[in-house]
Amino acid sequence: MVEQEPATLDAVFHALSDSTRRAMLRELAGGEQSVSALAAPFSMSLAGASKHVKVLESAGLVRRRIAGRTHYCRLDAARLAEAEAWLRYYERFWTRRLDTLEALLKAEDERQREGENP
């Protein structure tokens, strides 16, 4: 399993736990956006959007640059890749479990069919 610093992974999952921040990340996947553009779909204040961006920044998911009075954000997907690697371990765990269950169910079906056809 890929090992990350727990605090880093915790920050990423905390940032992803909010639907507004997930939507902001989705928008940023299309390219750089201003904080005001990120706020627009949610009818939230610039201060509210900025708080969400700060959470994303502290998790390392977003980079911000300032041009005059406008703050622009861009996605930094490296931390998402780390979280995905962590989740992949559990995907393999559940896949093995489900494969085992499938084999057991198929064997049971086969036994039942054999019992019906003497």
Instruction: Yes or no: say if 79 and 9 are a contact pair by the CB < 8 Å rule.
Output: no
- Indicate the pTM of the whole model: 0.72
Question: 27-39 pLDDT, tens per residue?
Answer: 999 999 999 999 9
DSSP letter at 69 equals: T
Residue 117 confidence (pLDDT) above 60: yes
Tally the domains of the chain: 1
Helix (H) or strand (E) holding 100: helix 78-116
**Tokens matching residue 3:** 């090992």
Could you list the residue range(s) of the whole structural domain that residue 55 is in? 1-118
Q: Which pLDDT does position 5 carry in this prediction?
A: 62
Instruction: Yes or no: say if 30 and 71 are a contact pair by the CB < 8 Å rule.
Output: no
CATH number of the structural domain spanning residue 69: 1.10.10.10
Instruction: Yes or no: say if 82 and 2 are a contact pair by the CB < 8 Å rule.
Output: yes
